[in-house]
Structure 1
Amino acid sequence: MADTSAQRVPVAGLLLAAGGGRRLGGRPKALLECRGGDLLVERAVRVMREGGCATVHVVLGAGAAEVRARLGELPPGTALVDHPGWAEGMGSSLRAGLGALAPVPDATAALVMLVDQPRIGARAVARVLAAHRGGAGLVAAAYGGERGHPVLLGREHWEGVARTATGDQGARAYLRRHADAVRLVECSDVAAPDDIDTPGDLALLE
């Protein structure tokens, strides 16, 4: 069962949902629909809140106006961040998200998820948050020992991550540089890191 006691250690969810889906024929990933009709972005916000994130900031880029128009009612504490420079890559979206979170004084950390990984659910989020509550400032879900998402970045790391987040690398370079400080939390028994990049991956929405 997901741990929803985020009030003890407030962590802000940061959902990167700006991608344009170039290999999907230009279909923004945030607008893909899961079984039941929910948008992929709606599902991800729900997962992050159920997993224990106190708030969720969603970085929008490609198709942002349509995403806003089609979104249903989001949980209280959800903020939408428009990022016009989304085409520069995931790194720029991560910088935009961390910049939007910077004025939130009580957020001890940011839990970063990607919108196009529908097999990652609330239990994986809860495990990563539990490691942070145990004292870790850098945490990542692992799948068979390999680092994946969600990734948790303690506030003290935000500036360093923003400096190194370029292209489609996101926090990868920073985490590699600080590998000894990253606590890996195995999640392969409750989640899978498969992402949606090509038309053949759309089966994951089922």
Structure 2
Amino acid sequence: MAAGASSRLGRPKALLPVVSGNRAETDSRNHTLLDAAIGQGRVLSPDVRVVCGAWYPLIRFRCRRQPSAWLRAGDWHEGMSASLSAGLRSLGPAVKGVFVLVADQPLLDLNALEAFGKAARCVPEQPIAADYGGRPGVPAYLPRWLWPLVLELEGDRGAGRLLAEVRATRVDIPGVHDDVDTPADWHRIRALLSRTGPTARQSRR
């Protein structure tokens, strides 16, 4: 999901540059947070769909990696529920479940993300979500039976509370607490990116 206005940041966060600490990786210098998020999505599935709203079509044209589909949530200003609805309604009847990622968590551990995806495929009827100190959040896996309840959500409300109510399995995915909401967040995360060079991890697929 990449539909928000990034009001606290003051500019489209999806287009923030992801720079590796390895100078040899010159190609990575033009990657954005959204490019990194698409790479994360490909760890989980070859079918990666980006839900946009504010700043569209700018982020589409500035993004180097192309997803399977660009989806525009016309009511994006209503909040996260609109993005979830747009994503779910784009999927066909044969789909058993969906993985939900956001565009501002560039430090997610890809090995943990891959294990999360394998766990969801082993038990496709069970909701699974990242553990935020005892509460579930994104990245998350939503089995199809849960979608009607997700579609009933309103406003700037994600599926976290719903996942808690249905007792989703919580898994540890390092990096979930490192999201970008403010300029201070970005300065801190950019420093971590420069030191650790996670762009190479994001780009392995």
What's the TM-score, normalizing by structure 2?
Answer: 0.80
- Percent sequence identity is 36
Deviation digits for residues 12-47 of structure 1, max 9, x if unmatched?
Answer: xxxx0011110112x122222211221111110111
Equivalent residue for 1:67, pick from 47, 59, 65: 59
Equivalent residue for 1:42, pick from 35, 47, 51: 35
Q: How does 1:34-183 map to 2 (within 5 A)?
A: 34-35=18-19, 36-49=29-42, 51-74=43-66, 78-101=68-91, 103=92, 105-135=93-123, 136-163=125-152, 165-179=153-167, 182-183=168-169
Larger strand fraction of residues: 1
Deviation digits for residues 45-87 of structure 1, max 9, x if unmatched?
Answer: 11110x2313111001111111122122426xx1100112111
- Provide the residue aligned with 2:178 in structure 1: 194
Worse-superposed segment, 86-95 or 134-143? 134-143
Structure with the bigger RCO (C-alpha within 8 Å, sep 6+) is 2
Q: Secondary structure at the match of 2:171?
A: strand
Contact 2:136–2:164 (Cα < 8 Å) also in 1: no
What 5-or-longer segments of structure 1 have no aligned partner?
1-15
Post-superposition offset of 1:145 = 4.1
Q: Secondary structure at the match of 1:153?
A: strand
Aligned AA (2:98): A
What 5-or-longer segments of structure 2 have no aligned partner?
20-28, 194-205
Worse-superposed segment, 39-48 or 125-134? 125-134
Distance 1:73 1:115, change over 3 A: closer
Post-superposition offset of 1:93 = 0.8
| CA–CA distance in structure 2, aligned partners of residues 85 and 38 of structure 1 | 28
Q: Secondary structure at the match of 1:22?
A: coil
- Provide the residue aligned with 2:171 in structure 1: 185
